[in-house]
Chain A
Amino acid sequence: MQQLNFEPVLTAEKEEILREQVRDFLKQYGAFKPGNMIDSWSVCDPEFSRCLAKKGWLGMTWPSEYGGGDKSYLERYVVIEELLAAGAPVGAHWVADRQSGPLLLRFGTQEQREHFLPKIVNGECFFAIGMSEPNSGSDLASIKTHAERVEGGWVVNGSKIWTSWAHACHQMITLCRTAPATENRHAGLSQFIVDLEAEGLTIRPIVTLAGEKHFNEIFFDNVFVPDNRVVGKLNDGWNQVMAELAFERSGPERFLSSYQLLEAAIRVLRQAELAQQADTIIGQYVARLMVLRQMSLSVANQLQQGKLPVNEASVVKDLGTSFEQELPEAMRLILAIEPRPSVDQGIQRLLSDAILKAPSFSLRGGTREILRGIIARGLGLR
């Protein structure tokens, strides 16, 4: 059985000074659209992303030779949690900053780093994740999109689905089959950087149940990808995807998606006469949030030390998404109000948004059942 490690870590003055800078920035920037505040890391606002870029808050942990900030993962943690808690629309650059950039730093060529990283840092290049397909969700190794060797590169055919913000992104890290599966089903997969304006590529939006144009279906009809856009080792894409997971699953976005509702609920309850009865519920949720922050910070610190705590990241994501899904359920019972998508602001709108968006929290980035399977493997059960 592998030990799960969540050694607590405290933030120091360096991080807290940065935190104040983010708070000052947010104060100056002004209020965000209330309708965007739930799950704000799924809200795409390129202008806002460029404001953050100007502050130096994209690619913070990357080396300065690529335009990065040479900052620690703890410093990045502080910045992103401040933005998320405030409900800031950070969706446009989120994937590039969180995982595509780190992927290129880890596995990319020098040319790829020099080409893409400065653009990401400047808020000029957004990345999408092209993994899921119509017939391959949890069972990612079963993907059918394939690439064939041609002169100078590869030709890709197939389709991807549920691709968040592909219509607003520039590039997509695309997982393709480049060799037939062997006995090892994870062999023969490769990652490509695909230009989303490439010839032969079609993006069709899919509207979510909450009425948003969020994800897409993407069709590849003989899309050419040059050799210099292969990421890392050919046919070793699976291991590279696994290495991304510790980044993808452990951050504060995995428990803050409905946080704005908690603050609003406290504001409303404070005015109400029956506030006292709500104390216990509020306290329970606050305690869960306190531990989640501590666990997520601990993972950030382990990433800083060069570790890849994939199991710990799964724990954070499963506990975290349960928290952000259960929060609206608990708040509706103590608030005793009806959710209203029709109003522009106020708690009824937040509640409505939280309820309508909550199902996705435990799906994107690996479903609850898959995460628990990973944890069970770490326990030595599989």
Chain B
Amino acid sequence: MNELSQLIEDSATRLFEGFATEQAYQTMESGEFPQTLWQDFVNDGWLRTALTEEQGGAGLGLAGGFTLMRLAGYHAVPLPIVESLIATYLAASSGIEINDELLVPALISHPIDQSSDLVLSNIPWARHASGVLFVFPVDDQLHTVVIRLGDLTISSDHNMAGEPRDEITINPKQLIANNTLSGMSVEQIYSWLALGRAAQISGALRKVLLRTVDYANERSQFGRQIGKFQAVQQQLAVQAEMTSAAICAVDAAIAHLDTEQEWELIACAKITNSEAAGYAAKTAHAVHAAIGFTQEYPLQLSTRRLWSWRDEYGNEGDWSSKLGRHCMQLENDSLWSWLTTQTT
């Protein structure tokens, strides 16, 4: 573990552990917001993780943000960590004053058609936000504007883990170019959201592995711990391999933020994590058997998230196709030289 992860883990673990209560999940899954948890999170300054010190933040950058998201994934924190951190970062970057309210991002990549209402689906946690931070292009420039919830229509939906994934409808006339975001593209911001999910997945993968190994060492059948059966060991070994690869891919993407290779390594991270998510969930449930199939047993808190997160902000197929197309279009025979730039 590098210094940044160690620092964040040391200081946020206790907070996140406290969040994982049955009541918090019930609150969230019944459509309410775990307000006190959110307040604790904000009061400890974590919302400003990625902001610079001049912006009133912790100065840990997006790298720090993604590291925190991984920890949140490990603890299955029922809060909009990825969306709030990234929206806050974008808001601050475009000069909007930060007052620690919950903002979630909504990205629009195409020029806006003013003639009809704009409908955006899969906007995480929108119903609980103070405002939605719209990012949209006007001519060759990205703009941001915060629209208050009262000025939007929200239709509630949620993913398999019960996390809000809402649909918002807005009259495009409200999207008045106010603040500009320079040096970024909608595609890049989308890739950060994907990396946020990948980071959460990698945290959840670690948790699922630990849980499953512990269970295999506790549960006995035929007079011995089930972890002593080779069939079980071999499956868990593969789960550990895929988990290691997933964590490494996120680390590599974090190490390449703000470099030319940024999107490629993010693509790789989302592919690797989304693939591992399915394998880990399947194996963990096989090893836990019936007890893991209950709502009471906490494995489902991680696996329902894994099954949801692997498809959000692009699944492994979407990102593979993008990465593959890129590789197919490289100049003659340059796959290898392209590959080797990915570790520079």
Identify the A interface with B (CB < 8 A).
1, 4, 6-12, 16, 19, 23, 81, 85-86, 259, 262-263, 266-267, 269-270, 275-276, 278-284, 286-295, 297-298, 312, 315, 318-319, 369, 371-373, 375-376, 378-382
Q: Which residues of B contact A312 (CB under 8 A)?
A: 244
Q: Is B249 an interface residue (CB 8 A)?
A: yes
Q: Quick check: B342 and A284 within 8 Å, CB to CB?
A: no
Q: Is B189 an interface residue (CB 8 A)?
A: no
In the bound complex, CA of A371 to CA of B237 (Å): 9
In the bound complex, CA of A266 to CA of B323 (Å): 13
Q: Which residues of A contact B316 (CB under 8 A)?
A: 284
Q: Quick check: A280 and B236 within 8 Å, CB to CB?
A: no
Residue of B nearest to A375 (CB): B237
Count of chain B residues with Cβ under 8 Å from any Cβ of A?
54
Q: Which of A7, A284, A372, A381 makes the CB contact (< 8 A) with B213?
A: A381
Q: Quick check: B324 and A6 within 8 Å, CB to CB?
A: no
In the bound complex, CA of A266 to CA of B268 (Å): 18
Q: Quick check: B265 and A290 within 8 Å, CB to CB?
A: yes
In the bound complex, CA of A294 to CA of B252 (Å): 8
Q: Quick check: B248 and A6 within 8 Å, CB to CB?
A: yes
Q: Is B319 an interface residue (CB 8 A)?
A: yes
Q: Quick check: B244 and A6 within 8 Å, CB to CB?
A: yes
Q: Quick check: A290 and B268 within 8 Å, CB to CB?
A: yes
Contact residues of B between 300 and 344, Cβ < 8 Å to A: 316-317, 319-328, 333, 335-337, 339-340, 342-344
Q: Which residues of A contact B213 (CB under 8 A)?
A: 1, 379-381
Q: Which residues of A contact B267 (CB under 8 A)?
A: 283, 287
Residue of B nearest to A12 (CB): B344
In the bound complex, CA of A312 to CA of B248 (Å): 12
In the bound complex, CA of A293 to CA of B209 (Å): 23
Give chain A nearest CB distance to B66 CB in angstroms: 13
Q: Quick check: B228 and A381 within 8 Å, CB to CB?
A: yes
Q: Quick check: A283 and B244 within 8 Å, CB to CB?
A: no
Q: Which of B227, B265, B268, B327 makes the CB contact (< 8 A) with A381?
A: B227
Q: Is B260 an interface residue (CB 8 A)?
A: no
The contact sample of 11 A-B pairs, CB cut-off 8 A, is A6-B245, A6-B247, A19-B340, A266-B328, A279-B324, A280-B321, A280-B324, A283-B321, A287-B319, A373-B234, A381-B227
Question: Max chain A CB contacts within 10 Å: which of B230, B238, B255, B343?
Answer: B343
Known: A85-B336, A266-B335, A279-B325. A291 touches B245 (CB 8 A): yes
Residue of B nearest to A312 (CB): B244
Question: Max chain A CB contacts within 10 Å: which of B2, B267, B336?
Answer: B336
Q: Quick check: B245 and A10 within 8 Å, CB to CB?
A: no
Residue of A nearest to B1 (CB): A7
In the bound complex, CA of A286 to CA of B339 (Å): 8
In the bound complex, CA of A267 to CA of B236 (Å): 38
Q: Quick check: A287 and B236 within 8 Å, CB to CB?
A: no
Q: Quick check: A293 and B237 within 8 Å, CB to CB?
A: no
Give chain B nearest CB distance to A318 CB in angstroms: 6
Q: Quick check: B233 and A295 within 8 Å, CB to CB?
A: no
Known: A1-B213, A283-B319, A376-B236. A291 touches B343 (CB 8 A): no
Q: Which residues of A contact B2 (CB under 8 A)?
A: 7
Residue of B nearest to A319 (CB): B241
Give chain A nearest CB distance to B85 CB in angstroms: 22
Q: Which residues of A contact B271 (CB under 8 A)?
A: 283-284, 287
Q: Which residues of B contact A295 (CB under 8 A)?
A: 244-245, 248
In the bound complex, CA of A314 to CA of B61 (Å): 34
Identify the B interface with A (CB < 8 A).
1-2, 209-210, 213, 216-217, 227-228, 230, 232-234, 236-238, 240-242, 244-245, 247-249, 251-252, 255, 264-265, 267-268, 271-272, 316-317, 319-328, 333, 335-337, 339-340, 342-344
Q: Which of A7, A287, A376 makes the CB contact (< 8 A) with B233?
A: A376
Q: Which of A276, A293, A373 makes the CB contact (< 8 A) with B343?
A: A293
Q: Quick check: B342 and A290 within 8 Å, CB to CB?
A: yes
Q: Which residues of A contact B247 (CB under 8 A)?
A: 6
Q: Quick check: B244 and A369 within 8 Å, CB to CB?
A: no
Q: Quick check: A1 and B343 within 8 Å, CB to CB?
A: no
Q: Which residues of B contact A283 (CB under 8 A)?
A: 267, 271, 319-327
Q: Quick check: A372 and B234 within 8 Å, CB to CB?
A: yes
Q: Quick check: B241 and A375 within 8 Å, CB to CB?
A: yes
Q: Quick check: A318 and B230 within 8 Å, CB to CB?
A: no
Q: Which of A263, A297, A372 makes the CB contact (< 8 A) with B237?
A: A372
In the bound complex, CA of A263 to CA of B337 (Å): 11
Question: Max chain B CB contacts within 10 Å: which of A263, A292, A381?
Answer: A381
Known: A278-B328, A279-B321. A379 touches B252 (CB 8 A): no
Residue of B nearest to A4 (CB): B244
Give chain A nearest CB distance to B236 CB in angstroms: 6
In the bound complex, CA of A279 to CA of B213 (Å): 36
In the bound complex, CA of A290 to CA of B216 (Å): 32
In the bound complex, CA of A82 to CA of B238 (Å): 28
Residue of B nearest to A263 (CB): B335
Q: Which of B228, B255, B326, B339 makes the CB contact (< 8 A) with A289?
A: B339
In the bound complex, CA of A199 to CA of B333 (Å): 50
Q: Which of A1, A11, A269, A289 makes the CB contact (< 8 A) with B328?
A: A269
Q: Which residues of A contact B216 (CB under 8 A)?
A: 381
Q: Quick check: B251 and A376 within 8 Å, CB to CB?
A: no
Residue of B nearest to A16 (CB): B344
Q: Which residues of B contact A286 (CB under 8 A)?
A: 323-324, 327, 335, 339
Residue of B nearest to A74 (CB): B343
Known: A290-B268, A315-B240, A375-B240. A298 touches B248 (CB 8 A): yes
Give chain B nearest CB distance to A80 CB in angstroms: 13
Known: A263-B333, A291-B245, A381-B213. A8 touches B251 (CB 8 A): yes
Q: Which residues of A contact B240 (CB under 8 A)?
A: 4, 315, 375, 378-379
